[in-house]
């Protein structure tokens, strides 16, 4: 239970705009007319030599892949505090655009030269993030960039078009066609929207939508989650009254659906076994109307501290956060067979969040996947021991790899005939959520406009 993916805070540093990646990065050429196309750019639109140098330096640090990209950029901006908000946004957007299409841009750049990669990615940004590069490029660079604009990736290998590592493509080919792999890869090449979850202990969705739109933040109800709101832009929310009052939390719509699969009831005993910073824990607590007992377990004291801060805003009184040492901790053993429902949002590669964290595909290798699948099996075993007869167990990941999903569940069911699979689509339908997902939940960005999630709902039929 040691490995966890990062969760989205209310304000992300750096902030990313809603449109990065929608400009033709998919196919290799910039498709949008921008200021400066056929006309002189204003001084405000032009990149200064110093800014280009800073951006290249930031990308160079990120490409070392020694730490998560958002943490590297956070440190970079702290060390370069003189950069204004617009310049920080330009650098951050360019770095993440580069990471989303690193294989294709590296092919255009004949390698991973940070300057060439930064230029290519910056040239493909959408307005209003795009900035004019020509004043800081040599004549040779301008000619090279013009040639690159005419290049498309149609003839490139599948891994380059999907912008996934070859080892991932080969694993996916065991379950997916090449067309499906490409569709998933393309879906991961666009940035994720900013989704919120309404805390129904405090307020209802209609009230939040009214308040956000009245305050100039364009928002709409999400397609599937009854508690979700999707913002058109990505404003800073950490000082917004709704956030400070605990009325909203940042949470992807797909993540919200996991809570509805568990469907906890009032006065039940429930556990979120890999609680992290508590996004799903708080959702479960609200679905329980702050009644019963909800345990939030995690191996990280830091993440539990973050959960406690969010819990204080939420108004929930039924959550009991606890730090555990491992999946066999005595705190878990004391609850064996006593819980009505258990959620396992297992540590995984996080490949389902590549829209948000595109560096993950370059920081994970096949060896890491092997280690994770061992850990996932152990955690699922530990979780199953907590569930009493008739109880529900949801195993979930934010991954599209079968090795972390179907394979883990299939092996578990072979060992545990006392558990049976429930139909995820039917469970959601009974709660008014119409989504064509089948027996197992499998969300994909190109199909559902959410992060990629997998979930299997299991029920213990006997002791």
List residues with catalytic annotation: 398
Please answer whether residues 394 and 440 qualify as being in contact, where contact means their C-beta atoms are separated by less than 8 angstroms.
no
Please answer whether residues 213 and 242 qualify as being in contact, where contact means their C-beta atoms are separated by less than 8 angstroms.
no
The answer to whether the bond into 128 is cis (omega within 30° of 0) is: yes
In our burial notation (b when 16+ CB lie closer than 10 A, e otherwise), range 361-397 reads: beebeeeebeebbebbbebbebbbebbbeebbbbbbb
CB hemisphere CA count around 400 (13 angstroms): 28
How far apart CA 163 and CA 154 sit, in angstroms, is 13
- Number of Cβ atoms within 10 Å of the Cβ of 462: 9
Please answer whether residues 245 and 313 qualify as being in contact, where contact means their C-beta atoms are separated by less than 8 angstroms.
yes
Length of the chain: 463
Task: Tell me phi and psi for residue 450, to 5 degrees.
Answer: -130, 175
Q: What is the DSSP letter of 139?
A: H
Helices 49-63, 114-123: inter-axial angle, 10-degree rounding: 110
In our burial notation (b when 16+ CB lie closer than 10 A, e otherwise), range 420-446 reads: eebebbebbeeeebebebeebbbbbbb
Please answer whether residues 35 and 130 qualify as being in contact, where contact means their C-beta atoms are separated by less than 8 angstroms.
yes
């Amino acid at each position: 239970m040691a490995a966890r993916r990062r969760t989205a805070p209310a304000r992300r540093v750096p902030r990313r705009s809603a449109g990065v990646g929608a400009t033709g990065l998919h196919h290799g050429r910039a498709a949008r007319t921008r200021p400066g196309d056929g006309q002189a750019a204003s001084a405000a639109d032009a990149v200064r030599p110093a800014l280009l140098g800073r951006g290249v330096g930031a990308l160079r640090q990120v490409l070392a892949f020694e730490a998560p990209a958002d943490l590297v950029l956070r440190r970079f901006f702290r060390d370069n505090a003189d950069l204004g908000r617009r310049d920080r946004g330009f650098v951050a957007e360019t770095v993440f655009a580069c990471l989303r299409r690193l294989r294709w841009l590296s092919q255009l750049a004949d390698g991973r030269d940070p300057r060439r990669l930064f230029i290519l990615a910056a040239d493909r940004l959408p307005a209003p993030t795009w900035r004019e590069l020509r004043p800081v490029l040599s004549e040779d660079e301008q000619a090279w960039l013009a040639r690159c604009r005419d290049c498309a990736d149609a003839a490139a290998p599948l891994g380059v078009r999907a912008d996934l590592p070859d080892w991932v493509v080969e694993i996916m080919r065991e379950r997916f066609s090449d067309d499906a792999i490409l569709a998933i890869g393309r879906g991961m090449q666009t940035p994720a929207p900013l989704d919120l979850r309404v805390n129904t202990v405090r307020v209802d969705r209609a009230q939040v939508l009214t308040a956000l739109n009245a305050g100039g933040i364009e928002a709409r109800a999400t397609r599937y989650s009854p508690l979700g709101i999707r913002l058109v832009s990505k404003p800073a929310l950490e000082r917004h009254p709704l956030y400070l009052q605990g009325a909203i939390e940042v949470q992807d719509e797909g993540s919200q659906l996991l809570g509805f699969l568990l469907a906890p009831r009032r006065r039940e005993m429930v556990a979120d076994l890999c609680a992290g910073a508590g996004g799903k824990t708080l959702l479960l607590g609200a679905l329980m109307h702050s009644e019963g007992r909800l345990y939030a377990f995690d191996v990280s004291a830091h993440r539990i501290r973050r959960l406690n801060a969010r819990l204080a805003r939420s108004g929930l009184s039924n959550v009991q956060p606890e730090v555990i040492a491992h999946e066999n901790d005595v705190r878990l053993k004391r609850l064996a067979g006593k819980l009505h429902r258990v959620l396992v949002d297992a540590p995984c590669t996080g490949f389902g969040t590549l829209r948000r964290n595109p560096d993950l595909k370059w920081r994970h290798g096949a060896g890491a996947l092997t280690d994770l699948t061992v850990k996932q099996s152990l955690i699922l075993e530990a979780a199953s021991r907590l569930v009493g007869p008739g109880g529900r167990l949801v195993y979930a990941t934010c991954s599209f790899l079968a090795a972390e999903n179907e394979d883990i569940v299939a092996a578990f069911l072979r060992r545990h005939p006392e558990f049976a699979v429930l139909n995820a689509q039917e469970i959601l339908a009974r709660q008014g959520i119409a989504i064509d997902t089948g027996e197992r939940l499998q969300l994909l960005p190109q199909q559902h406009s959410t992060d990629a999630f997998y979930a299997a709902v299991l029920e213990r039929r006997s002791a």
